[in-house]
Amino acid sequence: MRSDPQEYQLAMPGTLEGVVSLLASQPNIWMPLAGGTDLMVLYAAGKLSARKLVSIWNLPELRGFEVLPDEIRIGAGCTYSELRHNEIVAREFPLLARAAAWTGGIANQNRGTLGGNIVNASPAADSLPALLVYDAKLVLVSVRGEREVPYVQFHLDYKRHTLAPDELIRAIRLPRKYAEYFSFARKVGARQAQAISKVCIAALGKIVHGVIEDVSIALGSVAPVPLRLGATERVLVGRKAEPALAGLARQTVAPQIRPISDIRSTTQYRSAVAANLVEEFVETLCTRAGRP
Amino acid sequence: MSPLAHVAARIEIRLSVNGEERTVSVYPMERLLDVLRNQLGLTGAKEGCGEGECGSCAVLMDGLLVNSCLIPIGQAGGASITTIEGLAHDERLHPLQESFLACNGAQCGICTPGMILAAVHLLDKHPRPTLEEIREGLSGNLCRCTGYLQIYAAVNEAANRSGA
Amino acid sequence: MAQTHIIGAPVPRKEGRDKVTGRARYVDDIAMPGMLHGATVRSQIPRGKIRRITFGGGVHWDEFAVVTAKDIPGRNHIALILDDQPCLADGVVNHPEEPILLLAHPERHQLWKAVEAVSIEYDPLPAVLTMEESERQTEIIWGSDNTLKSFLVEKGSLDGIWEKAAHIIEGEYFTGAQEQLYIENNGMIGSYDSDAGVTVWGSLQCPYYVHKALMAIFALPEEKVRVVQMETGGAFGGKEEYPSMIGAHAALLAMKAGRPVKMVYDRAEDMAATTKRHPSRTRHRTAVDANGKILGGEIEICMDGGAYATLSSVVLSRGTIHAGGPYYWPHVVIRSKAVATNAPPHGAFRGFGAPQALFAMERHMDRIAQVVGLSPVEVRKRNFLQPGMSTSTAQVIRENIDLGRLLDRALELSQYREKKSRFALANRSGKVKKGLGIAAFLHGAGFTGSGERYLSSVVGVEATAEGSVRVLVSSVEFGQGTNTVLCQVAAETLCLPYDSVLIAQPDTSAVPNSGPTVASRTAMIVGNLVRSAALGLKQTLVQSGLLRENYSPQEFHEACRKHVATRGPVRSYSRYEAPPGVFWDDQKYRGEAYAAFAWAVYVAEVSVDLATYSVSVDDFVALQEIGKVLHPRLAEGQIAGGVAQAIGFALYEKVVWQNGRMANNQMTNYIMPTSADLPPIRIFFEELGNAHGAYGAKGIGELPMDGPAPAIVNGVADALGAPFNSIPLLPEDIQAALSGLERPQEGIAAD
């Protein structure tokens, strides 16, 4: 353990109000700590720059799960385990349930939170592409009250986002309109479990009368932020759903992505796999979803 | 004066460990793993990696499997913790401890406390797990000795014994 | 052979209860009164001179004990073979992470800050970072030519075979470094007393290696050094030589501080600083006749030893002897060398040179098959060693091993033929290609050649005051089953219940030197000595009049009690004697290399997903002949664990090197298989017995490391119709290879 606990403060106000007041009182000083599956790793490695932490684990205002007729509101403090085992999420938002099941092992799923995953903003995070295709909206909160940001606008660049220094994510809103969609997700990691993604894809498609009425495709680990493949989507929408479209879709991928070579994988591999996964999605969409 | 001054104050945390109420005087950012091992003398939970990858520090916290190396003790106030030391009752072993013995599920033994607790957690949710469920349930606990085969056998045996 | 009751039975693991209850005591579970914690300041560069060491601000240095090379009372080296590795760098560093100075403090959490506050200025020297650079000898970093060791094995003569050959087949094969990744990191507690001397407790495989090393560091006689093994959480060779280093460090700090010192590495330090498997390059050039029979060939092996010699000569030796595989070579020249690079020294890892050499041999056999137009099955059958034939070191195979039949059985168990035709059809379309791969191999157990005679191991068996029997060995338990098996042997030999036999904690002040716990020798060789020592104990009791010949267990226990009570302790010792008629020439490297070979055929079924280029192993058959199964559960456990570790070697475990240092030194980025990544491993044993092993046993601990990697890569080559000759074989490598090929080569011929 490369950090000295005596050098760290952990404030535990216990309420959302207490937390946001503290954040507002000393901007950029207090770092929110939820389940710890990211920050405690940095801490143990001696690499956590913050010395003052404020616990947001188990805040009642951040937990909970609201089901409304048109949308669900997931508390930012919802853990991956809770997401996986939630009936509505499993039925209507399977990409998110699957991503939750792919994140770490059971022990880390019991502590990792969706809000934490979003704020940590790793481009390799498994649940972020799912949030992109489900058109998520983030509810942000601070002493100034609440505001909303479409998730697609949240990430600005590698590990930079629009959250103000004294803001927290309070909830994630997902519109309940994807139950009839064909969904496709794959995670490509170094092994079958407990792996950081080299590439991951979350995609949805809807075919009506043999035509692609709607399609959303998002990739992780191919850019500094999780990425919606808008250009691919535009090429596909409105076209007749036939397997030959897969090859066309494949060609649109390369110009949109900027995968890097790092300790885990290579640019060449990520590019090849990203294109393969998009092709596989479109092929499967057109052969399977096209059936009545 | 060094900028990295000692700023933390000790606090009292009360938690239940293996059914016993305990109070510890700790810095809130001490890891639950270190508090269990060093203050409470419960050395069953091990540090294999310090990054939540190997699962050898796993304990049950309020019934959920967690990696104790990733939990600041400040967040464990009021929690109910079960460690490997809490499984046996007066020399009567837990069925999983019996089955790990019968099936050679422990070789060097260092992953065993975390692995058994992960299996306890698994059987709690899936009393008669399929092989797939066992593999997934234990996928956060790394074992370098067994290739997992005899661990699956141990989990199956315990499931069959406790079940119908 | 007589029916055995305890040998061959699944008796409970001797220390099992402690392990499943969390009561087992590993070194980091121990705290001693007044104990300090230690840490190491290490080199940040691969090679250079140390110009200046500065103790920076922000740390209360008066609270720390500091040790440098100057504090070493005896010789500043870790005694092993060539004694070239310093205990602490003295003015010069030769690899990243080389230990330079040591710090101790009462509070563990103060150490890392202090380590970071020590700044070291260097005058860097040019570093040699690859085998190829080392071979070029443009920069000499070790000895006169960077060569740590070399061997030449010659059998027959290569004159004329190239002209006679119908085919000359060449190949070059690579294996990478591999981290042992025991789940318990290296750790030792050291204490020093000016009268009593040095004592260390820790995680280790070879108490007497550490003992010898400490004697040299502290210039102390035998009786003033004591080494005690604690419960050890995995070793795999990674705790064969390294504990001498960390033990010396803990003891030096204890000497300086006047208090016991515990040093336990964290994962990042253990991965970066300690030994790994030797990377290797093997080149084959083989003359083969029109029927696919090997006429002869040249094998050239190069291993990367890292910065100091440590165990490279022995790893190289084993690799050299296994280079020809289980095949008959009428003529062969094997040239091998280990070269130095400026990386942390590589060391022992399960298999110890054989996995490297056998990967090459078994990939090469498939290559030969392809060139000649035979199936991988047929080419092996035509070249297998048979009883009466000799190996590349001219060791005659005297046992009744029928490798052709073993291969057939493995094929049947894996449904090879049926699957091969099914896959050939299915692979014509679809995005997932399937393949099957075979590996046939052997593993020699025990120390090579005259090694066991040199070790001259001693085992003791004693009677306790309570009437039990206790085994006294320095062979340690680290999960493989030492405690259990040696107690089984004693119990079986003496016709006593297994539960009444104990085994002493390995403590050099209390047990004799039964040799290191390595080379798959413990059950076979040490077990045999337990047997003879036990018989000696029985004889002593009978001769003393306290025991009749056909005794009951009760009577035996009573005799033990009586003897200890009335006549004092009774211990029987047995010393190793080499079997007669066994001949080994250390100069020419010819003769009986090993007392026994275990034999195996493994079959891997793999799928390659062309969308992700990932390989999954879907089924695995491990069939081996191991002399005698002493304990069915333990034996299965060894094979399953070894296969899993070798799957890691083949497909997942890549060490990423940056300037001589392991850059991916975290569990997140060094990928070992999880439960979700491993196939069902189906394990089968055959037993031919072994005249030189306890109850017929051969060594099995390392055997399973040799076969899976070539079997898997042979399977991938079969699935894709493309060759792969380097491991670890990652999806990135497959993608790069497939994108580079215009059209995949013809698939491997069907049988």
- Choosing from C215, C239, C273, the residue where a domain stops is C273
> Do both C254 and C284 map to the same domain?
no
Let me know if residue C719 belongs to a domain: yes
Q: Does A53 touch chain B (CB under 8 A)?
A: yes
Let me know if residue A226 belongs to a domain: yes
- According to DSSP, the residues that pair with C104 across neighbouring strands are C38, C65
> Do both C216 and C297 map to the same domain?
no
Three-state SS for C329-381 is CCCEEEEEEEEECCCCCCCCCCCCCHHHHHHHHHHHHHHHHHHHCCCHHHHHH
Task: Tell me if C267 and B51 make a contact (CB, 8 A cut-off).
Answer: yes
Let me know if residue A180 belongs to a domain: no
The ranges of chain C with pLDDT < 50 are: 742-751
Query: How many angstroms away from the CA of A234 is the closest CA of chain C?
Result: 24
Query: How many angstroms away from the CA of A108 is the closest CA of chain B?
Result: 6
Q: How many helices (H) and strands (E) does chain C have?
A: 19, 28
Contacts of A255 (CB under 8 A, 6+ apart): A231
Let me know if residue C162 belongs to a domain: no
The arrangement of strands across the sheet holding A197-208 comes to A182-189, A197-208, A211-220, A227-228
Look up the domain containing C593 and give its range. 280-448+588-740
> Do both C328 and C390 map to the same domain?
yes
CB count within 10 Å of CB A240 equals 13
> Do both A132 and A208 map to the same domain?
no
CA distance B29 to B23: 16
Residue of C nearest to B37 (CA): C29
Domain CATH code at residue C108: 3.90.1170.50
Residues of B in contact with A49 (CB under 8 A): none
Closest by alpha carbon to C675, among B52, B135, B120? Answer: B135
Q: Is C157 helix (H, G, I), strand (E, B) or coil?
A: coil
Look up the domain containing A10 and give its range. 5-54
Is the per-residue pLDDT at B12 higher than 50?
yes
> Do both C376 and C525 map to the same domain?
no
pLDDT given at position C3: 83
Q: Which domains does chain B have, with CATH numbers?
A: 11-86 (3.10.20.30), 95-162 (1.10.150.120)
Residues of C in contact with B143 (CB under 8 A): 183, 675
Query: How many angstroms away from the CA of B35 is the closest CA of chain C?
Result: 13
Number of domains in chain A: 3
pLDDT given at position C1: 53
CB-CB contact of C550 with C538 (8 Å): no
> Do both A154 and A240 map to the same domain?
no
State the best of B18, B34, B49, B101 to mutate against chain C, taking most chain C CBs within 10 Å: B49
Residues of C in contact with A194 (CB under 8 A): 674
Q: Does A271 touch chain B (CB under 8 A)?
A: no
Let me know if residue A183 belongs to a domain: no
> Do both C221 and C344 map to the same domain?
no
CA angle B140, B145, B149 (to 5 degrees): 70
> Do both C206 and C329 map to the same domain?
no
pLDDT given at position C596: 93
> Do both A109 and A49 map to the same domain?
no
Closest by alpha carbon to A114, among A190, A172, A201, A191? Answer: A172
Domain CATH code at residue A234: 3.30.390.50
CA distance C189 to C201: 5
Q: Which residue, chain included where needed, has tokens 């040699």? A: C128
Residues of C in contact with B145 (CB under 8 A): 234, 479, 637, 641
Q: Which residue, chain included where needed, has tokens 């070789």? A: B107
Three-state SS for C248-303 is HHHHHHHHHHCCCEEEECCHHHHHHHCCCCCCEEEEEEEEECCCCCEEEEEEEEEE
Let me know if residue C512 belongs to a domain: yes
CA distance A290 to A1: 55
> Do both A168 and A72 map to the same domain?
yes
Let me know if residue C136 belongs to a domain: no
Q: Which chains touch B (3 or more CB pairs under 8 A)?
A: A, C
Distances (CA, A) of C582 to C168, C641, C688: 35, 33, 20
Contacts of B11 (CB under 8 A, 6+ apart): B25, B26, B27, B28, B74
Distances (CA, A) of C302 to B39, C135, C150, C187, C299: 51, 9, 9, 32, 10
- According to DSSP, the residues that pair with C597 across neighbouring strands are C444
Mean pLDDT of chain B: 94
Burial class (CB in 10 A: 0-12, 13-18, 19+), A248: middle
> Do both C612 and C558 map to the same domain?
no
pLDDT given at position B163: 58
> Do both C612 and C699 map to the same domain?
yes
In this structure, the dihedral spanned by the alpha carbons of residues A38, A44, A47 and A52, taken in order and rounded to 10 degrees, is 80
Contacts of B19 (CB under 8 A, 6+ apart): B86
Residues of C in contact with A277 (CB under 8 A): 611-612
Phi–psi pair at C2, nearest 5 degrees: -65, 150
pLDDT given at position A201: 97
Please give the radius of gyration of chain B, using alpha carbons only, rounded to the nearest integer: 17
Task: Tell me if A268 and C739 make a contact (CB, 8 A cut-off).
Answer: yes
Handedness of CA C62, C67, C68, C74 (dihedral sign): positive
Domain CATH code at residue C324: 3.30.365.10
Closest by alpha carbon to C480, among C178, C688, C687, C704? Answer: C704
> Do both C257 and C292 map to the same domain?
no
Amino acid, res. A81 = S
CA distance A59 to C637: 46
Beta pairing class for C332-340 and C294-306: parallel
Let me know if residue C6 belongs to a domain: no
> Do both A79 and A48 map to the same domain?
no
Q: Does B85 touch chain C (CB under 8 A)?
A: yes
Let me know if residue A182 belongs to a domain: no
Length of chain B: 164
Distances (CA, A) of B120 to A79, B17, B134, C538, C579: 20, 16, 11, 46, 51
CA distance C544 to C527: 26
Task: Tell me if C232 and B108 make a contact (CB, 8 A cut-off).
Answer: yes
In this structure, the dihedral spanned by the alpha carbons of residues C443, C640, B99 and B79, taken in order and rounded to 10 degrees, is 120
The ranges of chain A with pLDDT < 70 are: 289-292
> Do both A45 and A73 map to the same domain?
no
Let me know if residue C148 belongs to a domain: no
Phi–psi pair at C429, nearest 5 degrees: -140, 175
CA distance A263 to C522: 40
Let me know if residue A179 belongs to a domain: no
CA distance C75 to C218: 7
> Do both A214 and A266 map to the same domain?
yes
CB-CB contact of C604 with C420 (8 Å): no
CA distance B103 to B151: 7
pLDDT given at position C751: 39
Token pair, residue C267, equals 């994962």
CA distance C30 to C192: 17
DSSP state of C599: E
Let me know if residue C1 belongs to a domain: no
Amino acid, res. C47 = R
Number of domains in chain C: 3
CB-CB contact of C363 with C173 (8 Å): yes
> Do both A152 and A198 map to the same domain?
no
Let me know if residue C171 belongs to a domain: no
> Do both A90 and A120 map to the same domain?
yes
Let me know if residue A178 belongs to a domain: no
> Do both C378 and C240 map to the same domain?
no
> Do both C246 and C290 map to the same domain?
no
Contacts of B130 (CB under 8 A, 6+ apart): none
Task: Tell me if C676 and A193 make a contact (CB, 8 A cut-off).
Answer: yes
Three-state SS for C70-99 is HHCCCCCCCCCCCCCCCCCCCCEECCCCCE
pLDDT given at position C745: 36
Let me know if residue A70 belongs to a domain: yes
Beta pairing class for C570-575 and C458-463: antiparallel
> Do both A153 and A137 map to the same domain?
yes
Token pair, residue C278, equals 């030797």
pTM above the 0.90 mark?
yes
- Choosing from C239, C273, C307, the residue where a domain stops is C273
| Residue C678 Cα to chain centre, angstroms | 21
Let me know if residue A235 belongs to a domain: yes
- Choosing from C547, C575, C603, the residue where a domain stops is C575
CB count within 10 Å of CB C91 equals 10
Query: How many angstroms away from the CA of C649 is the closest CA of chain B?
Result: 12
pLDDT given at position C741: 59
Residue of B nearest to A34 (CA): B75
CA distance A30 to A26: 7
Task: Tell me if B8 and A6 make a contact (CB, 8 A cut-off).
Answer: yes
pLDDT given at position C656: 97
> Do both C190 and C323 map to the same domain?
no
Three-state SS for C531-567 is HHHHHHHHHHHHHCCCCCCCCCHHHHHHHHHHHHHHH
Domain CATH code at residue A153: 3.30.465.10
In this structure, the dihedral spanned by the alpha carbons of residues C584, C590, C595 and C600, taken in order and rounded to 10 degrees, is 170
> Do both A20 and A71 map to the same domain?
no
Residues of A in contact with B64 (CB under 8 A): 81, 110
Residues of B in contact with A1 (CB under 8 A): 31, 34, 47, 50
> Do both A24 and A67 map to the same domain?
no
Beta pairing class for C332-340 and C147-155: antiparallel
